[in-house]
Structure 1
Amino acid sequence: MSGELRDNRGRGEAEWGLPAVHPEGRKFGVIAIGVALFFGLVVGWEALGWLLAALSAGIFAFFRDPERVVPQGDNAIVSPADGQVSLIAQVPPPVEMQNAAEDGSPGLGSDPVTRISIFMSVFDVHINRSPIAGTIRRIIYVPGRFMNADLDKASDDNERQHMLVERADGTRIAFTQIAGLVARRIVPFVKPGDIVAAGQRIGLIRFGSRVDIYLPAGTDAKVLLGQRVIAGETILAEIGTTGLLEGVNQ
């Protein structure tokens, strides 16, 4: 049940069920089913009808919206996206987030921080979630190109949307939704001033993309390059925690 508290002592209930389909995707699935029925039953092109029926099932699967169990640690930064950690680098924050905003809220500055890039294929869940609890301070949309989102320069060249979340203690974390070769629409669910919980749904990107998250200064990643992460569940880092982690690909 959504909102139920669970812990590592067995509190809560575990259940299985088919994930819901986000309303943003239902219309696309219904349209695909309608087209499949038209060609399969009205026109009589059964092969094409079955092909379109399979496509409609894929559309519903793409927009699936499963429940997640979000860790509640005070300093935990959870993954904003499902996918694979494709890049970890020390880079300056996005230029749009470096300076103070018009309302006087501070920016992130230009000093390099750790950026974790998460690549989402068309088979991943594309609902994005807030990495921390706090207030949405900025949402900045930047038009751009539609290159392969797995490339490093996609952070600067592709169509993207930056979000800045501020905790009650003033810690600020930025993350960026980046469109890719197939993705053509970034859909936000929140607006500046909204208060969000860690792991709360904040938007989606249609059809393959990437999310970058910029960790606070003095914080290192707790995930490794190539690792699979789950939005709202995988802890990417703990604020103020540093140290080298190594893994072996097997």
Structure 2
Amino acid sequence: MTIHREGRTLLFVLLLVLFALNWAVARFLPGNTLVQNSVIVVSVVFYLIILQFFRVPIFTVQKNDNQVLAPADGKVVVIEETEETEYLKGRRKQISIFMSPINVHVNRMPLGGVISFFKYHPGKYLVAWHPKSSTENERTTVVVKTKDGVEVLFRQIAGALARRIKWYVKENQQLQQGEEFGFIKFGSRVDIFLPLDAKVNVKIGEVTKGGRTVLAELK
């Protein structure tokens, strides 16, 4: 496991702040060991909680052109047929993954290919499971076109806590399956829109691992 670059500065500053806080407590309350020990324990626990937000697991991606990998760690909250109106302009199978604050927050490419469309949308910060979050919240829309010409659309969606969406893609960029394309701080949601003939391999409530869980298979 490594620490994601999005968290390194924050973790360093937080370490300095907590160190200064503990120094101040020891300096101005030298005889109160209960308070000193309590502040140390709270500081360590708090730092570890923030640290786990930015962890990045190390693993080998099992690439398969016919399989759609989960773009994020989390839990499947939506599997339905819906109308995609922004780019694909048609009926698609939608799978939505909710990322809680304790999940890994790296977003990975579900398929390898060329980025044929990208757009950032400023917006609201409704809770990530709200039905309108996918159309009204701050979000990105990314479309990857595979070597077989299949286009799959996926979105990073901000939530009530996650107000920092980061993306590392641009149009015409070539990316590999499982490669990192973005990061969402402190939990949110990722939607993915598949062809209607795709075979879905997950069910509602199932836990996913980004870059490892096979969400679906393409015809």
1:87 alignment partner, SS class:
strand
Q: How does 1:8-47 map to 2 (within 5 A)?
A: 19-44=1-26, 46=36, 47=38
**Structure 2 unaligned runs (5+)?**
27-34
Correspondence 1:54 to 2:50: no
1:96 alignment partner, SS class:
coil
Alignment length, in residue pairs?
A: 210
**In the alignment, which residue of structure 1 is the partner of 2:184?**
205
8 A Cα contact 1:78 1:231, kept in partner: yes
8 A Cα contact 2:200 2:215, kept in partner: yes
Correspondence 1:171 to 2:180: no
- d(CA) in 2 for partners of 1:34 and 1:208? 25
1:191 alignment partner, SS class:
coil
Which protein has the bigger strand share?
Answer: 2
8 A Cα contact 1:146 1:159, kept in partner: yes
Shift of 1:33: 0.9
Shift of 1:71: 2.4
**In the alignment, which residue of structure 2 is the partner of 1:119?**
98
Q: Deviations over 1:186-233 (max 9, x none)?
A: 001222221111000110001110000001232131100110111001
Shift of 1:137: 1.7
8 A Cα contact 2:125 2:160, kept in partner: yes
Shift of 1:51: 2.1
8 A Cα contact 1:39 1:49, kept in partner: no
Shift of 1:124: 0.3
8 A Cα contact 1:30 1:56, kept in partner: no
- d(CA) in 2 for partners of 1:49 and 1:145? 37
Shift of 1:151: 2.1
- d(CA) in 2 for partners of 1:84 and 1:149? 12
8 A Cα contact 1:114 1:220, kept in partner: no
8 A Cα contact 1:38 1:49, kept in partner: no
**In the alignment, which residue of structure 2 is the partner of 1:193?**
172
**In the alignment, which residue of structure 2 is the partner of 1:236?**
215
Shift of 1:152: 2.2
- d(CA) in 1 for partners of 2:110 and 2:23? 47
**In the alignment, which residue of structure 2 is the partner of 1:96?**
86
Q: Deviations over 1:55-100 (max 9, x none)?
A: 222222111111233222230110000000011111111x332xxx
8 A Cα contact 1:36 1:48, kept in partner: no
8 A Cα contact 2:72 2:105, kept in partner: yes
| Structure 2 counterpart of 1:73, from 64, 69, 74 | 64
8 A Cα contact 2:65 2:112, kept in partner: no
**In the alignment, which residue of structure 1 is the partner of 2:31?**
none
- d(CA) in 2 for partners of 1:155 and 1:208? 15
**In the alignment, which residue of structure 2 is the partner of 1:128?**
107
* Amino acid in the other structure paired with 1:65: V
TM norm structure 2: 0.91
Correspondence 1:142 to 2:121: yes
Q: Deviations over 1:24-46 (max 9, x none)?
A: 11111111111110110134373
